[in-house]
Structures are given as structure tokens and as C-alpha cells.
Chain A
Amino acid sequence: MTHPSGQVDHHDPAGTSDHVRDVHASPEFTELRRRSRTFTFAVGAFVLAWFLLLLWAVGFQPDLMATDLGGHITVGLLFAWSQVITTLAVAALFVRHTRTNRALVETLRARLDEGAGR
């Protein structure tokens, strides 16, 4: 099954072409993979861990969470809000991360498309 653009459709059992293998093994791609994985895993782990910490505190430290910091604003309320702030910070970091990598991604993409006969 061949895609109209001429490239091999991913349902093709033939597997990865030599060209894709070469690009995959290139130092540029290795660098992109290192950056992408480090970012995705580190940030993903942080988001999950920070959220689990909130859930743990809600469940097991109810008195701490109910502490009134004045004007009925409790520790728990601030901790919950902080989750939203951190996800927005994650979004900002993500945008910066993709900007940093954009040139590298575009170079690699062009090289891959070239080899696919475009």
C-alpha cells in the first residue's frame, strides 16, 4: 500500500528504509532524542509527582491543609492553586523547549523527506 505522495505507507510490512535508519543513527537525531526524552520524562514526572503530593496531603494531612492563613485562605487552597500555576509554567517551558528544537527538527525533517523521494 503506497501513499499518494509516494512515500511508503506505515502499513507496509517492509519496515524502515536504509535512509531513515541513517538519519535515525545520525548525531543530530541522537541529540534531538536526548533533548525530547529528557524534557518529556522530567517534566511529566514532576507534574505527576507534584499532583500526587497534593492528593497525599489532602488525604493524610487534612489538619495542615485546613490551616487558615488569614481571610479563610487555607494552605490547601493555595496548594491546589499552585497546581494550576505549575501547569501554566510547564506550558511556558514546553513552548520554550519546542522553540529551541525547531531548527534541529526542521533540518532532520527535510532530510527525511528528501530520502522519501519528495
Chain B
Amino acid sequence: MTSTVLAEGAANAHPGLTLGLFAVVVLISLGVTTWASRFRKTRDEFFTAGRGLTGRQNGLAMAGDSLSASAVLGSVGLVSLFGYDGFMFGIANVVAFALLLLLAGFLRNSGRFTVADVLSFRVRQRPVRIAGAVSSLTISIFYLIAQMVGSGALLSLLIGSTSPVVQNLSIAAVGVLMIVYVVFGGMRGASWVQIIKACVLMGIVTLMAVLVLVRFGFNPSALLEAAGQGSGTGGSFLAPGMQYKNPIDLISLGVGVSLAFIGLPHIFQRFYTVRDDRTAESSALWLLGIEAVFTVMVVLILGLGAVALVGATAIKASDPGGNTAALLLAQELGGGAGSLGGDVFVAVFAAVAFATILAVVAGLMVAATTTFAHDLYANVLRHGRASDGEEVRMARIAAVVLGLVAIVLSLFARQLNIGFIVGLAMSIAASAHVPSLVLNLFWRRFTTRGALWGIYGGVGTALLLVIFSPTVSGSPKSLFTAVDFHWFPLQNPGLVSVPAGLLFAVLGTLSRREQASEDRYPELETRAMTGAGSH
């Protein structure tokens, strides 16, 4: 990633100011962690903040989870470079949260901490728990590596240095901070860092959106007109088809993203940080409301504003992927390159982006450690006989070990073009978790074999299709550009892998009856629908 324009013109103008604000972010987050560490770390406290968050707090934290730095900067960049097509990712998110709302109460009632808790409710514990844990850990680790590698690239953009040393140090620093947050603060610390960040982030981007609208006299047509001119493509900027030449690819992406959020472990676990199903539903309502406003108003206005005021040429010159579009817009809104207002605005925005990275990796690490300690250690390795204290101790050990592993993997992955890996994690969540979660809730006959085939089949199909897709080989933007072994035409596997996951789960179920699972179904169904006996 080269960033000469930004390095000369924007973030580097006052590196002292930027770094000072970064230090403030670190201090505030460590303060929150210190406060959270005072709560005695029982199992419920460590994994679910004592189930004491309100619907609004949890909704904000979930919104924070979904608004990662790459998502916010990325989607503004996508709109600024690809116009209409870039907007589709945001719409897919809103649709995803509507679907999540429909299932929120059922999922809250039938589980305790993890995806595997819900999936193994009525079928044979061990094999299904292992399967659910394997898929959950895969998703969380992929997601985490993507965020950490992204943070290295992003931080060097924000600081205005392209040296590999800065990138490596950034990755290591983010990783170490993440370990500290999780080990000492647990879910409570991670949640409040996320909530504070979500408020600050929404505040600053809303301010930017208003400033953009002021520039255009609150006239959407004027903004759209200027965006078309700034893009250099004129009228076609707002026409579909700029990003995805193959229409099926866009549909496949949409299917994957809109279903993924039901099965992403770090979002899923948030449903258990509240008291009951009604609070879980209220969290989902807040999430949907925030995301609806954010996507339409903010991402669209900022993306259009960036291309209208900064221009596509300058955006691409700064970063071909568009990740700095929002920063360049901040600079422009603050008074332009070299002005004090512009420099201050860029520094503040960079600090918020940094806070976003920290909060999101902490949330991901909480989910990964919970799966490791609760599913694999306590329930599989110790057959459910580990004490609560042992489970928490194992979670803390896991946070250190998994954190170090994630740092090392990210340092290796840094040189690779792994932009696709978030999409892969989402596809796995949509293909492996969602069909089995839905069948488990609504199909009395669903069995152990159905769950196993569904989970492993979904993970396998998604992985296989991505490995043989143009994202891994055979195109200039691939992971391996020198070889070509792709035969699957789509970049996103969702359109095939989600139905495949469903088919595996259904065939596995139909292939052999399991009386025990059907006998336990009334217990699950009454609990899911009324909340009786839920944790």
C-alpha cells in the first residue's frame, strides 16, 4: 500500500498530534479495563459481563462490533470509488440485522455463552460441541487476523509511514493491548470499550455527514451531481455494475453477508450479555436502528462527499483500495491540506479509527477464548466437570496463547493480499452455522448427524470454493498471482455454500432418525419461545 499523497499531505502533517491522541485512546481503554477488572471474575462475569447490560448498551456494543475500522473506512471508500455497488454492502448489513432481530429472542433463550451451546442443546453433546467449536474458532481467528493485518496497514497510513517496521510494531502493539483488555477486563471491559468507541465514532461521522450536507446546501441532487463529476465517470457513477462485472457475484456476496451475522460468534455471544430474551430483542432493535441510520445517511453521504469534494483521482492516488477516502474527506472538511482545522480533524478521525481497531479485536478475542475455554476445555476435555474458576483461568490462558498466535500469524500474513479473509469468515458463518441453527430451532427431527454434516459440510464447502476461486489464484488481485488453479467463477462462495450447508444438514438428518433428539425437542422449543429455564 503506497500512500505518498496522504503521507505528505494529511496524516503526517502533525504526527505529534496524531500520536498524542492515540495515547489518549490507549489510556482511556486501559482505564475502562482497570475499572472492569474490579468485578470479581465469575464465569458469567468474564464471558457475559454478568448478563447485566441494558438493551441500548448491548445494541451499541453490537453496532461497534459490526462497525470495524475496515468496514467503516472500507465502505466509505467503496462508495467513493464504486458508487452504487459500494453501497450494496451496507444494505446487506441492514438486511442482516433485520434477520438477526427475528431470531434474537430464540437464540438468547436456548443458549448460554456460545454458538455450540445452542447447537448441542438436544443432540449428542461432544461431537456437535467439537464441530461448533472448530467452526467458531476458525471464524474468529480468520476475522481476527484480517483485523490485525488491516490494523498494521491502517496504522501506517494514519501515522503516515510505510516502513515495514512500523507495520509490524503496530500489529504487535494492537495484539498486546488486546490480550491485556481480555485477560483483565473480560467481556465487561471489551463491551464498554466498544460502547464508548461506538458513540465517539458515530458522533464524528455524523458531524462529517452534516458538514458535507452543509457544503451542498442540504440538496441531495447537488451532492449527487458533484459526486458524478468528481468520479470522472459522470452519469454512470450512480449506475450499478462498476465493481462487480459478474452480477451473480454481487448476489452471492449479498446472500453471504445478510445471513452471516446470525452465525458470527462474537456477535452471537453478545446476546448473552443481557438479562433475558426481551432485552436481547431490544439490543437487536437498537442495532438495526443504528445500522439503518449509519448505512444510509453516513456511509452514503460520506462516500459521495469524498468523491465530490476530494475526487476519485486523489482518493486512488492516496490508496488504490479507497481506505483513506474518509480521512481525506475529514481533511477537506476541516479546511483542506495544510490548514490547522484539516490537520486536527484528520488526527481526531485517525484516533477514532485506532480506537475502533482496538475495540473490535478485543471483542473477537473474547469470543475466541470463550469457545476455547467453555466449549473445548470445560465441556469436551473435562466432560463438563471443570469448575467455573477453572474455566475462567483457562479463558485467560487462552487469551494470552491465542493472542500471541494471532500476532505471529498476522506478522506472516502481512505481506499477503488477504483482503478476502473477512469475506471467507462471513461465508463460513453463513454456511456452517446458520442452516444448523435454524433447523435446530424449528425442525423437531433435526439430529446429531444433521448438525455434524451441516457444520463440517458448510465449513468445507466455503473453504474449498474460496481456495479454487479467483480470490486465491488466477487474477492480478489474487493471493497467488503467479499460478492459476481456479475453477469456481465467483469471488464470494455464499450463493453455493449456504444452500450446500443446508443440504448437508437436511440429508444428515434424514439419513438416520434420532429418537433422543426428538424427545428433547419440547424442552428446547418451550424454552426458546417462552424463556423458561434460560440462563
Contacts and interface: CB of A to CB of B under 8 A. Distances in A.
27 contacts: A15-B519, A15-B520, A16-B521, A20-B526, A23-B526, A29-B526, A33-B529, A43-B102, A47-B95, A48-B99, A51-B92, A55-B251, A58-B85, A58-B247, A65-B84, A72-B224, A73-B224, A76-B84, A80-B91, A81-B296, A88-B292, A90-B102, A91-B289, A105-B529, A109-B531, A112-B530, A112-B533
Interface of A: 1, 7, 10-11, 13, 15-17, 20-21, 23-25, 29, 32-33, 36-37, 40, 43-44, 47-48, 51-52, 54-56, 58-60, 62, 65-66, 68, 71-74, 76-77, 80-81, 83-84, 87-88, 90-91, 94-95, 98, 105, 108-109, 112-113, 116
B99 to A, nearest CB: 6
A21 B522 contact: yes
B88 A55 contact: yes
Contacts of A95: 285
B248 interface: yes
A39 B255 CA distance: 21
B281 interface: yes
A32 B526 CA distance: 10
A84 B526 contact: no
Please list the 8 inter-chain residue pairs (A to B) with the smallest Cβ-Cβ separation, ordered nearest first: A59-B247, A71-B221, A112-B532, A72-B224, A66-B239, A24-B522, A87-B98, A16-B523
A65 B255 CA distance: 20
A72 B235 CA distance: 8
For A7, A25, A59, A62, the residue with the greatest tally of chain B CB atoms inside 10 Å of its CB is: A59
A67 to B, nearest CB: 9
B136 interface: no
B203 interface: no
Interface on chain A toward B: helix, strand, loop, or mixed SS?
A: helix
B242 to A, nearest CB: 10
B520 A76 contact: no
B461 interface: no
B225 A87 contact: no
B238 A54 contact: no
Contacts of A33: 525, 529
Contacts of A24: 522, 525-526
Contacts of B91: 51, 54, 80, 83-84
A108 B526 contact: yes
B250 A84 contact: no
Contacts of A17: 523
B240 A44 contact: no
A65 B240 contact: yes
B250 to A, nearest CB: 5
A10 B95 CA distance: 32
Contact of A20 (B240, B251, B522): B522
Interface string B61-98: 00000000000000000000000110110011011011
A47 B254 CA distance: 12
Given A91-B101, A91-B289, A20 B523 contact: yes
Interface in B391-450: 442
Contact of A91 (B241, B278, B285): B285
B16 interface: no
Contacts of B285: 91, 94-95
Contact of B239 (A37, A55, A60, A76): A76
Interface string B277-305: 01001000100110010011000000000
Given A44-B102, A55-B88, A77-B84, A7 B533 contact: yes
Contacts of B164: none
B250 A58 contact: yes
A116 B534 CA distance: 12
Interface string B90-119: 011011011101110100000000000000
B247 A60 contact: yes
B28 interface: no
B244 interface: yes
B258 A51 contact: yes
Contact of B95 (A7, A20, A51, A116): A51
A109 B247 CA distance: 48
Contacts of A29: 526, 529
A25 B281 CA distance: 26
A73 B221 contact: yes
Interface string B7-46: 0000000000000000000000000000000000000000
B217 to A, nearest CB: 13
Nearest to A95: B285
B338 interface: no
A55 B225 CA distance: 24
B453 interface: no
B523 A10 contact: yes
Interface string B225-255: 1001000000110111100100110110011
A76 B532 contact: no
